[in-house]
Amino acid sequence: MLKRRNITIPFYMDPWFWVKLMVFVIFALFLVWPFSSIIINAFKSSKVDGFTMANFEKFFRKKYYYGALKNSVGISVVPSLFAIVLGVPMAYLMTRYNVWGKKIWHVLAILSLMSPPFLGAYAWIMLFGRAGSVTTYLKGLGITIPTIYGFGGISTVLTLKLYPYIYMYTSGAMESIDSSLEECAENLGSGKLRRFLTVTMPVVTPSITAGALVVFMSALADFGTPMLLGGQDFRTLPVLIYNEYLSEIGGNGNLASAISIIIVIITLVMLLVQKTYVNRRNYIMSALRPPKEIEVHGFKRFLVTLPVFLISFISFLPQIVVCASSFQHTNYSSFTGGFTFENYQNLGSRLWSSMSNTFTYSLTAMVFIVVIGILMSYVIVRKKGKTGGLLDMLLMAPYVIPGSVLGLCYIVTFNVKPLVLTGTAAIIIISYVIRKLPYTVRSASAFLMQMDPSVEEASINLGVTPMKTFWKVTARLMLPGVFSGAILSWVTCINELSCSIMLSSGKNNTLTIEAYTNIVRNSVGSGAALSAILTVTSALILIICLKISKGKIRV
């Protein structure tokens, strides 16, 4: 073994050691530590010394609290199921038929997925709310429509916003089925429906469940929709966390911490259920011959286009409604019709400050996200082993920990020494980086996995050091993957609400927070104008990105 010594370089000479260390320090400082504080906090109470279960007892004793748990599970499970009902048929039609205007529906689906989190709820209130235009119109005809406040409304809005996850995951899987598989089933005498149910469906089921899990987690974590549509009687867990935190200001958020733990446990359980299900039936497939599009004409083509059109159009409708309303006159709390720019003119300096906050924070976060994202995906894909696996796991954390929970974590941890960050822009930027990094890492990793490692070896072999090779060749070649992931990170940063609203001290308000605050205050004109600006900004970024990446975006 003596000979071995002369070939191992000391660990501190390996640049990747420092990269790994840096990533671990970042995650330890801004994810593990804050979350551990919350866990400790949840078992403490201002009334007793030492650890106690009091917070959890209180939660499960009072209907106010455990009712919210039931509500949360309800508005997560129901949209997951309905999203499957909408997303799977849409994926099937879009991948198998020459649907008219295919690209448009695809873009609309992405746009509604990436829209500001409260937009759907807000638009629905404008149309079907107590003073909504449709409600008022129908009332004039003597028709009353069922209320959109509460369970039904929230589920509908979340379904329409989140179904694209199912659509995109499923169509991805359907495109990677080798067509010979279905042809074989046909050859063995299976009819079309039987083929779909016995061959196609089982193969894409793992992807559907993966999509459903993301829908579940997003719905469970959603803050804006239940806040606007829940009213006084229908509360969900993220809303409770926010309320508790507001009422406990000055306190230490013990009960809010306990609720956070409960919400994270629910997500973890769902994650494990989905993982065990998929592990037992994972059909890895690379399509040698992806299935061909079936050409239909005339009325048949209309028939296959209609459902896709309806789904994507209705889910996109909120963005049209909000943008259109923003040009209407208002008497402060309701729209009165006509056409005007006054809503925009009235925004004044608030617009510029919130706009500059939005862009400063999100772009600063992007710099970190891109650099850390490139390095991290390289460690995960190329430097397998324990650290890579651990990083991969840490990367799931932002999916599991809802924004409002992370917000609470930061408030509890960073308003006391040694590291006081509350009320600063830095803490919002950090929360962006931690929460939105996974989009970039996943996209970059997927890209890197398909890249031949010998290209890097060729560069090293020609005399370029490994680190220089990384920046000159690897990072350069990863750019397309990084780019499409970073755009998603960026757009979701711009639209981030649940975490930043807890971290903002008013002067740090972003466009999203400003828009949401105006809507809650019933200042409908400013709310609509700000939402419209936000929507159009996000849409423009996404459309430019889709143009550049030729429609290849992974969510």
Partner 1 sequence: MSNAVIIKDAVKKYGDFIALKGVSLDIKEGEFFTLLGPSGCGKTTLLRMIAGFNSIEGGEFYFGDRLINAVPAHKRDIGMVFQNYAIFPHLTVEENVAYGLKARKVPKAQIEPRVKEALELVQIAHLAKRKPNELSGGQQQRVALARAFVIEPSVLLMDEPLSNLDAKLRVQMRTVIKKLQRKLGITTIYVTHDQEEALAISDRIAVMKDGVIMQCGTPTEIYAKPQNPFVAGFIGVSNFLDCTMEQDGLVDIKGELKVKVPVKSTYTGPARLSARPEQLFFAEAGMPGEVQFSTFLGDFIEYEVKLDDGQNLIVNEYTKDTTEVHEAGEKVFLNFDPQRISVYEAESEEVITC
- Residue closer to partner 1, measured from CB, 3 or 507: 3
Q: Which stretch binds partner 1 (CB under 8 A): 3-11, 56-64, 202-210, 254-262?
A: 3-11
Minimum CB distance to partner 1, residue 89 (Å): 37
Tell me 28's DSSP state.
I
Residues 307-326 that bind partner 1 (CB under 8 A): none
Closer residue to partner 1 in complex, CB, 181/381: 381
* Residues in binding contact with partner 1, number by CB under 8 A: 23
Q: Extract the tokens encoding 259.
A: 């609720």
Please give the backbone phi and psi of residue 329, each rounded to the nearest 5 degrees, phi first. -65, 150
The site map against partner 1 for 51-90 (x = CB under 8 A) is: ----------------------------------------
The nearer residue to partner 1, 73 or 464, going by C-beta atoms, is: 464
CA angle 174, 178, 184 (to 5 degrees): 115
d(CA 75, CA 156): 9
Q: Which is nearer to partner 1, 103 or 552 (CB)?
A: 552
CB of 225 to partner 1, least distance (A): 44
Residues 456-495 that bind partner 1 (CB under 8 A): 457-466, 469, 473, 476-477
Six token digits for residue 309: 């059109």
Cα distance between residue 26 and residue 331, in whole Å? 49
Shortest distance, CB of residue 393 to partner 1, whole angstroms?
Answer: 23
Q: What's the min distance (Å) between Cβ of 460 and partner 1?
A: 5
Q: Please give the residues from 375 up to 414 whose contact with partner 1 meets the rule CB under 8 A.
A: none
The smaller minimum CB distance to partner 1, of residues 333 and 461, is found at 461
Query: Residue 183 or 457: which CB sits closer to partner 1?
Result: 457
- Closer Cβ to partner 1, 480 or 551, answer by number: 480
The secondary structure of 101-131 as a DSSP string is: THHHHHHHHHHHHTS-TTHHHHHHHHHHSTT
Q: In the window 8-47, what residues touch partner 1 (CB under 8 A)?
A: 8-9
The answer to whether the CB of 149 falls within 8 A of the CB of 234 is yes
Nearer CB in complex with partner 1: 102/472 = 472
Tell me the closest approach of the beta carbon of residue 472 to partner 1, in angstroms: 9
Closest distance of CB 470 from partner 1, Å: 12
What whole-number distance in Å separates Cα of residue 33 and Cα of residue 48? Answer: 24
For partner 1, the closer CB: 41 or 469: 469
| In the complex, minimum distance from the CB of residue 376 to partner 1, in angstroms, rounded to a whole number | 22
Contact 221, 238 (CB under 8 A): yes
> Phi then psi for 437, rounded to 5 degrees?
-55, -40
> How far apart are the C-alpha atoms of 233 and 244, rounded to whole Å?
16
Encode burial over 141-153: b for 16+ CB neighbours within 10 A, e otherwise: eeeeeeebbbeeb
The interface region with partner 1, picked from 4-12, 50-58, 297-305, 375-383 by CB under 8 A, is: 4-12
Cis preceding linkage at 418, omega within 30: yes
Q: How many whole angstroms separate alpha carbon 495 and alpha carbon 553?
A: 18
Q: Of residues 418-457, which lie at the interface with partner 1 (CB under 8 A)?
A: 452, 454-455, 457
Q: Say if residues 8 and 16 touch (Cβ distance below 8 Å).
A: no
Nearer to partner 1, 88 or 482 (CB): 482
Query: Half-sphere exposure of 552 toward its Cβ, with a 13 Å CA cutoff?
Result: 12
Q: Please, are residues 293 and 92 in contact by the beta-carbon 8 Å criterion?
A: no
The Cα–Cα gap between 395 and 402 comes to 14
Tokens describing residue 178 = 């080798």
In the complex, the smallest distance separating the C-beta of residue 464 from partner 1, rounded to whole angstroms, is 5
Q: How far is the CB of 302 from partner 1 (least distance, A)?
A: 39
Closest approach of partner 1 to the CB of residue 474, in Å: 11
Residues that bind partner 1 (CB under 8 A): 3-4, 6-9, 452, 454-455, 457-466, 469, 473, 476-477
